[in-house]
Amino acid sequence: MLAIERQRRILELLTEAGALRTAETAEALGVTDETVRKDFEVLEKRGELLRSHGGASLPEKIRGDVPFNERQAIRREEKKAIARVAAGRIRPNETIFLDASSTVLTLTEFLPIDMPLTVITNALNVINALADRQNIDLICTGGLHVAKSQSFVGLAAEKSLQRYHIHRMFLSGDGLHLERGLSESNSRQASFKERVIASAEDVVFLADHSKLGRKASYFFGEVADLGCVVSDEKADAGFVADLQAMGVEVLLGNVDGAPCS
């Protein structure tokens, strides 16, 4: 297979899956890992993908154009596996913060039914999902509503956080890089999340394997800010080990419902 044909096939696979692993792509194409890494490098220079630790993902300009409902459906099983494990970190009577990401919205499906909680959020979808829960005190930050992400951002949203003591913050983003930290493709979301991190005791980052090692446009936190990272069973073992060596707890979930070690 010629390089141009191979790279076209890589882009087809990437469009279908949203993210690719180097080893799996090499096997699918019948070539070596090194050949795939070189193809990834060429395609990244052309702006058609972003390389990450052990693979590649769609560039932000493409990901950012996907409506929220469609993003919620991407890697749905991985999101559920992550949310299931993350929910086990919550304790009764805590005040938790849930951000406006599709992965964190999935977490609302796994919140214990009878557990009393205070939930603060800037996400309209989270408010709708939890509105009928009698055991939850539900607080919206208010602020400027962004229809595309169904979230509230801006100065009013940021300042409202000063009133609360947040035991645990559950958030996601577009990337987690060992050296640069947490990143977002939207500057307003990045600014808001930076403020929440400063107000939270325990910061829990929910990210499927495609976001590990990735860098987006706007950084809003460092690895040192994290108490825990929850990902899925496809997370790169080397990246997980590096996080753990930096003092971050890492929890992995699989689609069968049991946590990975």
Expressed as residue numbers, the domain containing 19 is 3-58
Considering the domain boundaries, does residue 90 fall inside one?
A: yes
Shared-domain flag, residues 46 and 145: no
Shared-domain flag, residues 100 and 191: yes
> For 180-192, b where at least 16 C-beta lie within 10 A, e where not — what string?
ebbbbbbebbbbb
Shared-domain flag, residues 41 and 170: no
Mean pLDDT, the chain, whole residue set = 88
Which has more pLDDT, 21 or 48?
21
Tell me which of 97-106, 184-193, 234-243, 245-254 is least confident.
184-193
**Mean pLDDT (whole number) for 189-193:** 89
Shared-domain flag, residues 204 and 240: yes
pLDDT exceeds 90 at position 170: yes
Shared-domain flag, residues 34 and 82: no
Shared-domain flag, residues 109 and 185: yes
Binned at pLDDT 50, 70 and 90, residue 238 comes out as very high
Q: What is the pLDDT of residue 216?
A: 82
Residue type, 239: F
Q: What is the pLDDT of residue 119?
A: 97
Shared-domain flag, residues 95 and 45: no
Q: What is the pLDDT of residue 70?
A: 56
Q: Is 147 helix (H, G, I), strand (E, B) or coil?
A: coil
Question: If you average pLDDT over each of 42-56, 87-101, 207-221, which comes out highest?
Answer: 87-101
Considering the domain boundaries, does residue 63 fall inside one?
A: no
The model's pLDDT over 55-113, given as tens digits with 9 standing for 90+, comes to 888 775 545 445 555 555 566 788 999 999 999 999 999 999 999 998 999 999 999 88
Structure tokens belonging to residue 195: 């403020």
- Write the CATH number for 7: 1.10.10.10
pTM to 2 decimal places: 0.74
Shared-domain flag, residues 122 and 20: no
Q: How many domains does the chain have?
A: 2
pLDDT exceeds 80 at position 147: yes
Shared-domain flag, residues 88 and 167: yes
E-only strand ranges, 60-173: 95-98, 117-121, 136-140, 144-146, 151-153, 166-171
Shared-domain flag, residues 53 and 81: no
Shared-domain flag, residues 16 and 129: no
Q: What percent of the chain has pLDDT over 90?
A: 55
Q: What is the pLDDT of residue 22?
A: 92
Binned at pLDDT 50, 70 and 90, residue 258 comes out as low
Reading phi first (left if > 0) and then psi (alpha if -120 to 50, else beta), residue 250 is in: beta
**Mean pLDDT (whole number) for 112-125:** 94
Residue at which a domain ends, from 58, 89, 104: 58
- Write the CATH number for 158: 3.40.50.1360
Shared-domain flag, residues 83 and 50: no
φ, ψ (nearest 5 deg) of residue 87? -60, -30
